[in-house]
Amino acid sequence: MREKLLALAALQKVDTEVAALKKNADGYPKDIGELEKQLAVAKAAVDAERTKFDELEKQKLTLEQTIVEDRDKVKKWEGRLTEQRSTREYSALAREIDIAKKGQQTMAEEVIELGRQATIQREVVRAKDAEFKEKSKGLVEKIDALKQKLAAAEAAVKALDGDRESAAKAVDATLLKRYDVVRKKRMPAMSPLVPPGVCKGCGMNVRAQFYNTLVASKGVETCPSCSRIVYAQEVLEEPATK
């Protein structure tokens, strides 16, 4: 019976190790996601400033094209000015030309203003981009470190697969089935009883009789409180007789 207990204890040791590794790595994907989100937010902030700059440049270009087109139009009008027969027609066209020229003046001023804004915005983009590069360097380093840790934990768990398999093979089949059922609900699934009969898993004090029976049988029982597989601690503590 004691051998059965030892085999199960060995299996539980592997399972505990795997569980600890998994628990340790549990937060990594969430942490990685959080950092990646920060990176995306920082990137979006730079992109937004860059879009503002592009927008200013586009407005400036459109306005410059309008000015060129307008200038051609005025030139044509000016050519037609001499062809006007009546004073009324002449002054009407002259007024149109005057209005158009004033409009050109306004647009030219706007072009200068847009250029000024674009220059300022270009600096904003440059500063934000530098800030982002600095920040992203740190974030990417953190993300990479976490990814490495995650991979290492996964590799460690995988490495224990073989250990688990051979440890499970050594456990009595009925006991293994029972253990696996309890294990899904609570870890550790097997827990020692310490004198005078306290379950280490849940702290429940069972009857002394219950404990004494386990000492004598060197076997296992189910804790009435937490349903863990329990055994008398001293059974595994005593030196092997074989």
* Residues of the shown chain interacting with Zn ion in the complex, contacts defined by CB under 5 A: 199, 201-202, 204, 223, 225-226, 228
CA distance 31 to 146: 8
For the CB of residue 231, give the shortest distance to Zn ion in the complex, in Å.
12
CA distance 144 to 149: 9
The closest alpha carbon to 223, from 179, 185, 190, belongs to 190
Nearer to Zn ion, 126 or 186 (CB): 186
Residue 150 host element (H or E): helix 87-170
Nearer to Zn ion, 32 or 230 (CB): 230
For the CB of residue 47, give the shortest distance to Zn ion in the complex, in Å.
58
Place of tokens 């974030």: 139
Burial class (CB in 10 A: 0-12, 13-18, 19+), 232: buried
The closest alpha carbon to 230, from 203, 239, 240, belongs to 203
Nearer to Zn ion, 212 or 225 (CB): 225
Give Cα separations from 201 to 3, 18, 29 (angstroms).
22, 19, 30
For the CB of residue 216, give the shortest distance to Zn ion in the complex, in Å.
20
Nearer to Zn ion, 84 or 225 (CB): 225
* Phi, psi dihedrals of residue 53, rounded to the nearest 5°: -65, -50
For the CB of residue 224, give the shortest distance to Zn ion in the complex, in Å.
8
For the CB of residue 206, give the shortest distance to Zn ion in the complex, in Å.
8
Angle between helices 87-170 and 2-26 (to 10 degrees): 170
Nearer to Zn ion, 118 or 197 (CB): 197
Question: Which amino acid, one-letter code, is at 106?
Answer: T
For the CB of residue 26, give the shortest distance to Zn ion in the complex, in Å.
25
Nearer to Zn ion, 117 or 225 (CB): 225
